[in-house]
Structure 1
Amino acid sequence: MSYFFISLVGAALFLWVKITAKGHPPLPPGPPAEPIIGHMRKIQPEDQENQFYEWGKIYGKRRDDGVDKGASFYSIGKTFQKLRRMLQDYLNLKKSVRYQPIQTREARVLLQNLMSAEVERDNFIRRQNFVVNLFLTAIIMRLAYGHQATSDEDPYVHIIEGVSYGLSNAGSPGGTPVDYLPFLRHFPAWFPGAYYAGFARDNKIAVETMHQYPYEQAEGKAKPSFLSYHLEALDREGPDGPDAVLDIQGAAAVLFCAGAETRWCFIQKLKWYSAVPLGVPHRSLKDDVYRGMFIPQGSLIIANTRGMTLDERVYPNPQSFNPSRYLPKPEGNNEPHPIGPFGFGRRICPGRHLADASLWIAIASILATFNISKTIGEDVVASQVNHALFNVASALETNRRKT
């Protein structure tokens, strides 16, 4: 990004803060800002969650109740409320129990795929990742659209891979130049500050395909699913608005994408490397005062879920991979399960019960079937592990138990 645009953004933010802060309590503390450009040069382009965590240790204690207790002050629209009701009704704790036969069936397929992966030593870790990803993708495809995945070449699998690529490379949530200067979306990608706008245009087709293709394929099919459930209700009761079908498509797409992306996120992984380390950004709907600090209308609110899991007062030695930390004493430390990765308050993930059950069934099935041990050869050090969104490789050997 050119220094011209950095200066422009910094000057605008500086003047805005000076004007709006008059007569109000002080803004939240933070590192000293530079003249004109503010904090633009101090916020690193990558690994922001750890940077913000370190700043938090200097300028304030962990605060995890702002987006919950003050929820009425932070952005929530009618479409969000409608889609959430649809998903909550289909994925609540009571109904999630009904989906366990589907989860169990896919767990058996997972075991078969893991056994076949053992012979592919050249691409072992890649294959391991894929078959686990396929397990969770297959469950959510069946629930969302009534579709049964049968092979590696399933078009639905390729759709979710395309969307995952877009999400993983679209920049920090709320932190790209186009988020601060929306007019940049009209400029070509080579224009300073417009790269992510061009990236979004290039990947728009993947999102549109995720909405439209499964809907077209699922119409008229007999297998029950989230989509068929709501389309049948639409036929019986009529539309509740001009965008009723689009809302159903959107809710199904959210279920499809978010559900498939729970892959590899068992409890310790959720704490160790959250799938969305900076959470989903929100904006304050009006001026607010939080613990004596002024939050101006329109402020971007980001919950640093990664930072919350690094709090040594809650999780001693937080960088250590230690699943037993959650066990009751004396077997473990009785540490609380991480809540940040699933969101907060009214925005908490409605599919968390389904995700927990899927992962429990998968882990129990794997432990009952395989002996798992450290791989033979060189260790995988932390710097070699990919902590990018949605993908963490594991250096493990799996061998079928002898009966």
Structure 2
Amino acid sequence: MLLPILALFLGFVLFIYHGRQPRKGVGLPGPPGVPIIGNVLQIPKDRQWLKWAEWKEKYGDVYRISIFGTPTIILSSFQAATDLLETRGNIYSDRPTATMAGELVGWSRGLGYAQASNNPRFRELRRLFHQLMGPRACADDNLLNIQERENKSLLRKLLTDPENFDAHARECTSSLILALTYGYPSNTGDPLGLIKITEDAMHGFAVASEPGKWWVDSVPALKYIPSWFPGGSFQRAAQAMRADLNKLFEIPYQFVKKEITAGRPNPSFLLDHLEEKNGHETAEEEELVQAFGAALYSGGAETTPSALTSFILAMALNPQIRFYHPGLPTFKDRDEGKLLYVSALVKEVWRWNPSVPLGLPHVASEDDEYRGYTIEKGSVVWANVWAILHDPAVFSSPHKFQPDRYLGAASEQANSVVASAFGFGRRICPGMHIASNSVFIAIATILTLFRIEKYVDGEGRVVEPVEEYDGFISHPRAFKCRIEPRFEGIESLLTSEFE
């Protein structure tokens, strides 16, 4: 009983002490808060990026808020985010201590919440991603063939059951990542239940990462409160999410090990790594490659379905968009420059409603000066990706879905800034090439085979889909639409291609 009370008292003292420390240098502008808790009560529990974009209009593209005494810097322009997170990446590549998601749930074992500075584990995880999923690896014909094959599974599902398009996007993305990472075949009916395991783990990642949701992130001393103590419900939530993450670490890894022992492993990233070790991997190396698999999921299992569902929503809202291509598009067509409009459309999907509107937070590892202001050591730094990708100075009519903005001589700036959807600097998404391939081939083939239109109810009334998004990993709210074949014979086309 004494320990939790002491933890609470210590946290309160730290609040008071930190809140009374004098600011250094000239203070950044920002909304006024209240003592101790700062701006916490002004930040909504969801869609924080919209509130932060609203504050940009009043306080500029770089402003300061306070969350329980922690100085927090919001970057809302491409220039500011590039200046700090890339040009000065040696200062801003670390993550703040994420007590809930990183420590209590356990995501600090992976790449997203690992510290970058002087961290051999971070460097090794980045090396694995570059080796197995870098631009050269993702251009390999074998990998591209797997992505095309798994995409045809998505097309078949849309043909037979178009109403559940969102579930199909999620399931087929999970199947692809499982196939690439562990060689887990997609045609076996998922006997290990890995898709459910990954979905549970990723739901926990999203919930545990929401800014301002968990007091323990701002008062780390609260982590000593036991789960049975009043106010300890966050501990029970963390324990459940950690159990889900542990399953993601262990069960698919053991599947690959058993397949190797049985002499029947399918090609996979994990198999390539284990063959390098030739059965002599240490416990630390085993845990590292488990973290690699989990990091791959955290980067793609939710964001790619979000992008695909956004694309379907955009097509329902913009029926004027048309595309024709003879036959089923392939990556070869893209590489030969035949699908430039599809490439532009993919970029607009990333921009229009980015899958991770705030990215993950950075932290200043030392004091820094920017535009005459001081950014204190320990400040948490967020790039408001949504605001950057809706900057009217870069994207005219930013709320409109306009793929043409990436075509023509005046498109250079838009093409450069849209890459912000994947993050900045050393923290840019390491799975971006796999994700780009997946979304590209899905959009190209869906546009070729299907018409996407607004839903018409039983009484002939058109139901307008609503453009509303929720979640730290942002998904469109449920909506209905019509997905119909453009021509006859699609089933036989996909059957022959699939075989």
Q: Which residue does 2:422 correspond to in 1?
A: 342
- Deviation sequence 1:332-366 (CA, Å, 0-9, x none): 89833522221111111122111111111111111
> CA 1:116/1:370 → structure 2, altered by over 3 Å: closer, same or farther?
same
1:85 aligns with 2:127: yes
267, 270, 276: which is aligned to 1:227? 270
Q: Which residue does 2:433 correspond to in 1?
A: 353
Q: Which residue does 1:116 correspond to in 2?
A: 160
> CA 1:143/1:310 → structure 2, altered by over 3 Å: closer, same or farther?
same
Aligned pairs for 1:25-104 (under 5 A) are: 25-61=25-61, 62=77, 63-65=80-82, 66-74=84-92, 75=94, 76=116, 77-98=119-140, 99-104=143-148
Q: Partner letter of residue 158 of structure 2? A: L
> CA 1:70/1:158 → structure 2, altered by over 3 Å: closer, same or farther?
same
Cα drift, residue 43 of structure 1: 2.5
* In structure 2, distance between residues paired with 1:269 and 1:190: 45
Q: Which residue does 1:141 correspond to in 2?
A: 178
Q: Which residue does 1:293 correspond to in 2?
A: 373
> CA 1:25/1:250 → structure 2, altered by over 3 Å: closer, same or farther?
same
Aligned pairs for 1:249-328 (under 5 A) are: 249-261=290-302, 262-265=304-307, 266-328=346-408
6, 16, 19: which is aligned to 2:18? 16
Cα drift, residue 315 of structure 1: 1.8
Q: Which residue does 2:339 correspond to in 1?
A: none
* Aligned 8 A contact 2:389 2:418 in 1: yes
Higher mean C-alpha deviation, range 93-102 or range 211-220? 93-102
* Aligned 8 A contact 1:342 1:352 in 2: yes
Equivalent position SS for 2:475: coil
* In structure 1, distance between residues paired with 2:373 and 2:229: 37
Cα drift, residue 190 of structure 1: 7.7
Equivalent position SS for 1:264: helix
- Deviation sequence 1:170-220 (CA, Å, 0-9, x none): 352476311111122232568676544432222111100000000000111
Q: Which residue does 1:391 correspond to in 2?
A: 475
Q: Partner letter of residue 41 of structure 2? A: R
Q: Partner letter of residue 254 of structure 1? A: A
Equivalent position SS for 1:399: strand
Cα drift, residue 70 of structure 1: 1.3
Cα drift, residue 58 of structure 1: 1.6
Aligned pairs for 1:123-272 (under 5 A) are: 124=163, 127-150=164-187, 155-170=193-208, 172-173=210-211, 176-188=214-226, 194-219=232-257, 220=260, 221-235=264-278, 243-261=284-302, 262-265=304-307, 266-272=346-352
Equivalent position SS for 2:159: helix
Q: Partner letter of residue 364 of structure 1? A: A
Equivalent position SS for 2:27: coil
Higher mean C-alpha deviation, range 55-64 or range 101-110? 55-64
> CA 1:113/1:36 → structure 2, altered by over 3 Å: closer, same or farther?
closer
TM-score scaled to structure 1, two decimals? Answer: 0.86
> CA 1:194/1:53 → structure 2, altered by over 3 Å: closer, same or farther?
farther
> CA 1:40/1:7 → structure 2, altered by over 3 Å: closer, same or farther?
farther
Cα drift, residue 166 of structure 1: 1.3
Q: Which residue does 1:401 correspond to in 2?
A: 486
Q: Which residue does 1:382 correspond to in 2?
A: 466
* Aligned 8 A contact 1:286 1:296 in 2: yes
Cα drift, residue 15 of structure 1: 4.0
Report the aligned-residue RMSD: 2.9
* Aligned 8 A contact 1:277 1:306 in 2: yes
Equivalent position SS for 1:374: strand
* In structure 2, distance between residues paired with 1:192 and 1:324: 56
* Aligned 8 A contact 1:178 1:193 in 2: no
* In structure 2, distance between residues paired with 1:109 and 1:130: 13
Q: How many residues align?
A: 386
* In structure 2, distance between residues paired with 1:268 and 1:395: 21
For structure 1, the residue ranges without an aligned partner over 5 or more in a row are 119-123
> CA 1:167/1:360 → structure 2, altered by over 3 Å: closer, same or farther?
same
Q: Partner letter of residue 19 of structure 1? A: Q
Equivalent position SS for 2:355: coil
Q: Partner letter of residue 100 of structure 1? A: L
Q: Which residue does 1:121 correspond to in 2?
A: none
* Aligned 8 A contact 1:163 1:206 in 2: yes
Q: Which residue does 1:107 correspond to in 2?
A: 151
* In structure 2, distance between residues paired with 1:171 and 1:233: 34
Q: Partner letter of residue 137 of structure 1? A: S
* In structure 1, distance between residues paired with 2:474 and 2:187: 23
Equivalent position SS for 1:338: helix
Equivalent position SS for 2:395: coil
Q: Partner letter of residue 391 of structure 1? A: H
* In structure 1, distance between residues paired with 2:223 and 2:159: 47
Cα drift, residue 20 of structure 1: 5.5
Q: Partner letter of residue 258 of structure 1? A: G
Equivalent position SS for 2:44: coil
Cα drift, residue 145 of structure 1: 0.4
- Deviation sequence 1:147-181 (CA, Å, 0-9, x none): 11236655121112112321333352476311111
Equivalent position SS for 1:263: helix
Equivalent position SS for 1:150: coil
* In structure 1, distance between residues paired with 2:231 and 2:58: 31
* Aligned 8 A contact 1:277 1:304 in 2: yes
* In structure 1, distance between residues paired with 2:275 and 2:38: 54
* Aligned 8 A contact 2:138 2:144 in 1: yes
* In structure 1, distance between residues paired with 2:382 and 2:234: 20
* Aligned 8 A contact 2:91 2:366 in 1: yes
> CA 1:333/1:80 → structure 2, altered by over 3 Å: closer, same or farther?
closer
